[in-house]
Chain A
Amino acid sequence: MTLPRNPWALVRDAIVQAMIRASGLDESHVLWAYQNTNQPTDDYIDLSISGSENPCQDAIVATTDLTRPAGEEIQLATQGFREVVLSVEVYTKTTVTSDEELDALAIAERIRSAIILPTLRDRALKFGVSFFDSFGAAQYLPKLISTGFRGFALLHIRMFIPAVAAVEYTGYINTVNGTVKVTDDSGITDEFTFHAEGSAPKAPTGTDDGQQDNTTRWDHWAPQSGPWTPDTPIPSGAYSVTVPSGVGTNAWVKGGSGFTTDHTLPPGLAANNPPPGTMVSDGGEGWIIAPPWRAGWKVFTTTDPPDFTSNDGETYICDEDGVT
């Protein structure tokens, strides 16, 4: 599963669930220490985490999303794990002599043994929690509180947990301007200026289609004729977009949000909402179903898109800023 940047809540939940299974106690008797509430009745377990160590250097994972604001297209996130010590404090009302299964040391030892069981480890591992060692002696420190006996055992378990991810953003270099001066042996200085445009992909304009692939998206929203505006009503019906030759076989036409299936669908178009992308070949035709209030289409292509026409009589010219 994909863990959130701060996985602590999930990690703590996974540890508690593992301790419930390992100890045999119910959920109301396994809790994190230092909370402002009454102690539960014995027998119960207090958990606490300490001694966080970084066993190896964290990695930086870079992901690119061109739909993020300019200058923040690249996300740099740390990724790593920590070695921590889980302290398990077992409190019981039972002495060693009365019930060998329920005294504090017996419960601590049961936990120590159970954490290597495959089912317990697998469940914890889904949340990045890996118990790998219950080091040292399980200490048995029972005491008399006033006139009452209380069993107490302390067990330490080492484990790996996912680290909290820190994130920052960076972007592409769009333009570099500079001057270079070169002086030859004769003392003549030539001065060169340079201007370099970045070749990084440009974030497409228009509505985010949620895709993070390498296609360039060409959007257009239009009424039956003229520029589309939200207040311009258009008739219901089916519209088609013909993509001329030269697009290649990786073009498709897709209806955008607001398209419904309240209208008669052209043959072969699945009745989904919105209509699915219709694959078109060179010169192929994509169908779009227009609701009463908006019409439009999106053309996806891996090549420079040519102009295309629709049956509203308009010709649309694609450029990188969209469709004019």
Chain B
Amino acid sequence: MFDADFAWDLIDSFSTGPYVGTRTQTSGVHNGREVPGKKTKFTVDIACVQPAGGRDLLRLPEERRATETRVMFTKTPLQVGGQGAALEADRITLEDGKLWEIQSVESWMGYTKALLQVPS
């Protein structure tokens, strides 16, 4: 049986955070051009970031599987973009100083597993 508290303790003990994220409202359109949405900062206090494994990569579209990918386990809800979505994909600054974009999110029992890539 899954022990949520144990999972949380595990993430906490392996935490490599905290991290700062940027959440962006989806762009508006004026005269056919993108009008950038409002950006807000948020903090991912406890998160465990690891290199992505082969099975993780298979969850991504084929053209994204050759790109360097990280996996983040956290309790902070994260967002991916999509057609008609109110928010664009969250971006999180990792230790290397780069902005990594959320490509995939799985939520389960209040925990989030996200795949991150640097936008090309």
Q: Footprint of B on A, CB under 8 Å?
A: 12-13, 15-17, 19, 27-32, 35-42, 47
Contacts and interface: CB of A to CB of B under 8 A. Distances in A.
A41 B34 contact: no
Interface residues of B, number: 15
Given A27-B29, A40-B29, 9 more contacts: A16-B31, A27-B30, A28-B29, A30-B32, A37-B88, A38-B26, A38-B81, A38-B82, A38-B84
A234 to B, nearest CB: 53
Contact of A32 (B28, B32, B84, B88): B32
A41 B84 contact: yes
B84 A31 contact: no
A35 B33 contact: yes
Nearest to A36: B34
B85 interface: yes
Nearest to A33: B32
A162 B32 CA distance: 19
B32 A16 contact: yes
A43 to B, nearest CB: 11
Nearest to A37: B27
Interface centre among B82, B83, B85 (most CB of A within 10 A): B83
A31 B33 contact: yes
A38 B28 contact: no
Interface string B103-115: 0000000000000
Contact of B83 (A19, A28, A32, A38): A38
Contacts of B28: 28
B66 to A, nearest CB: 21
B93 to A, nearest CB: 19
Contacts of A29: 29
A27 B27 CA distance: 13
A35 B30 CA distance: 13
A31 B83 CA distance: 14
Nearest to A20: B32
Interface in B82-101: 82-85, 88
A86 to B, nearest CB: 12
A12 B31 contact: yes
Contacts of B88: 37-38
A8 to B, nearest CB: 12
Contacts of B34: 31, 35-37
26 contacts: A13-B31, A15-B32, A16-B31, A16-B32, A17-B31, A27-B29, A27-B30, A28-B28, A28-B29, A30-B32, A31-B29, A31-B32, A31-B34, A32-B32, A35-B27, A35-B33, A35-B34, A37-B27, A38-B81, A38-B82, A38-B83, A39-B83, A41-B83, A42-B83, A42-B84, A47-B32
**Complex A-B, nearest 9 residue pairs according to Cβ-Cβ distance, in ascending order:** A41-B84, A16-B32, A37-B27, A39-B83, A35-B34, A13-B31, A37-B34, A32-B32, A28-B29
A39 B30 contact: no
Contacts of A39: 83-84
A12 B32 contact: yes
Contacts of B85: 38
A29 B27 CA distance: 12
B78 to A, nearest CB: 16
A318 to B, nearest CB: 53
Contacts of A35: 27, 33-34
Contacts of B31: 12-13, 16-17, 27
A133 B1 CA distance: 68
Nearest to A91: B83
Contacts of A38: 26-27, 81-85, 88
Contacts of A32: 32-33
Nearest to B84: A41
Contact of A40 (B30, B33, B81, B84): B84
Interface string B14-38: 0000000000001111111110000
Contacts of A16: 31-32
Contacts of A19: 32
Interface in B19-76: 26-34
Contacts of A28: 28-29
